[in-house]
Amino acid sequence: MLKNALRHSLHLPAESDDAPAWLDCLAVEDRGDVVRVVFPHAYFGVYFAPYRERFEQALRRALARDPLRIRYDVRLAGRRRARPAVPAHAASPADREQNFASFLHNDKNALAVAATRLMLRADAAPRLLVLYGESGTGKSHLLHALHHDLRAAEYRVAAFSLARREDVGYPWESSPEAFWQGCDALLLDDVHAALDNGARCRALTACMDVAARHDKRLALALTGSPRCLEDAPAALRTRLEAGLLFELLPPDVDVRLRYVQRACREGNLPLSSSAMMRMARSCGHVRRLQGLLRKLRTLTDVRGHVPTEQELDDLLHDTGARRRDHRDVMEAVARRYGLHADELTGDGRRPQQTLARQIAMYVCRRSLGLSYPEIGRAFGGRDHSTVIHAVKKIEKILVNDKNVRDLVASVTTSASK
């Protein structure tokens, strides 16, 4: 029988009394093309999550089949048929690499990272965290890191992505009271995918209410800005707004450069400093850098040498990346203020013109990584001390002025496309 084969694969005697309780609760059926695993109830996935990886490895050894398709179902009381189950997230090797230590950031995202770490504290309040931002800014990375550390602290954690079909059910939807009895923290990624699903929004609202009553933790991530919450039902929107909302901004060039340096060091890819800086300046997001680094490793393995400067330029062109220019930033800022780009390099001192010029200088420094003298020359031959003053001024304004903060984020994004 398959259960006995699993016991042997787990190094247990066939009729051992020491068999793990979770194994006895599972019904396992080999259908040839897929192995069907049936949970005894809808909330068993939360309990089973820490053992899932061990179970699947034992199943592969027992059947000597890799890859192996596994379908998880849950047995419903009073029904003969089972429905598909969504077991709680079990950390994969890739997930374990996504921890707080590996999340590269600077002061721009330091508050969002600190707020995520705050969820680990026993006295954390409020217990609701909402991370938002563009795709590729690291929201999922921080959720994985939080998931890892919560489990290490022996919290019972469930993690799901809502970027699934609408007919897939989640254990916290049908009976949130029963779900929270076996769970201390719930992490939900891709919440934006469910905001147009009325039934799911109502279920999430009920789940949040029960969590608040029982002092449980929730951490959610969504792609976009808080404006996307305007289309969500009012009951859900107001609850989300009552939590800790933090935006993750696209990584600056210094963060991207540190990522390239680390990847080259760990992957034994001996690129020159100028090549690494060119990559960091040309790619506005880490995901694009990831794809570019994979291509560089492949090219190095095939040709037996590190790509030349020309080959790197060709690869950047093929991937759609290009070296961004200060003129892109000037034009993006000028458009937002109804100005012409040339007005930012001139001597005009109108308040609106001065602020636009300083914002453009700030983005050139933080996003493009240009030196202060380079920025000064680009903006009409100004002294580097003027640029330093502009960058420091915008840094102070960003703390309290949401409009300027949104503008900087928007300009950074548009300049990176």
pTM for this prediction: 0.62
Residue 77 confidence (pLDDT): 44
Sorting pLDDT into bands at 50, 70 and 90, what band is 296?
Answer: confident
Phi, psi angles (nearest 5°) of residue 133: 155, 180
Comparing 8 with 415, which gets the higher pLDDT? 8
Vertex 131 angle, CA 128 and 137, to 5°: 160
Torsion of CA 163, 166, 171, 173, to 10 degrees: 110
The least confident of 116-120, 363-367, 389-393 is 363-367
At 238, which amino acid appears?
Answer: T
In whole angstroms, what is the distance from residue 92 CA to residue 103 CA? 17
Look up tokens 């419903």; give the residue: 76
Contact 227, 263 (CB under 8 A): no
Most confident of 17-21, 38-42, 353-357: 353-357
Instruction: Compute the mean pLDDT over every residue in the chain, rounded to the nearest whole number.
Output: 81
In whole angstroms, what is the distance from residue 248 CA to residue 16 CA? 51
In sign, the C-alpha dihedral spanning 164, 168, 171, 173 is: positive
Judge whether residue 100 has pLDDT over 60.
yes
Picking from 285, 390, 400, the residue whose alpha carbon sits closest to that of residue 333 is 390
Residue 415 confidence (pLDDT): 56
- Paired tokens of 377: 């020359």
Phi, psi angles (nearest 5°) of residue 174: -75, -35
pLDDT digits (tens, 9 = 90+) for 164-207: 655 567 888 878 888 888 888 999 999 988 888 888 899 999 99
Judge whether residue 93 has pLDDT over 50.
no
- Paired tokens of 271: 């690129």
3-class SS of residue 162: coil
In whole angstroms, what is the distance from residue 243 CA to residue 229 CA? 13
The least confident of 40-44, 75-79, 214-218, 402-406 is 75-79
Instruction: Tell me the CA distances in angstroms from 39 to 86, 90, 92, one per residue in order.
Output: 10, 16, 21
In whole angstroms, what is the distance from residue 210 CA to residue 212 CA? 5
In whole angstroms, what is the distance from residue 83 CA to residue 72 CA? 9
Reported residue count of the chain is: 417
Judge whether residue 405 has pLDDT over 70.
yes
Q: What does the pLDDT average to over 347-361?
A: 88
In whole angstroms, what is the distance from residue 134 CA to residue 140 CA? 11
Sorting pLDDT into bands at 50, 70 and 90, what band is 408?
Answer: confident
Residue 46 confidence (pLDDT): 66
At 218, which amino acid appears?
Answer: L
H or E segment to which residue 82 belongs: strand 82-84
Q: What does the pLDDT average to over 380-394?
A: 89
Q: What does the pLDDT average to over 358-379?
A: 84
Phi, psi angles (nearest 5°) of residue 185: -145, 140
The least confident of 75-79, 196-200, 348-352 is 75-79
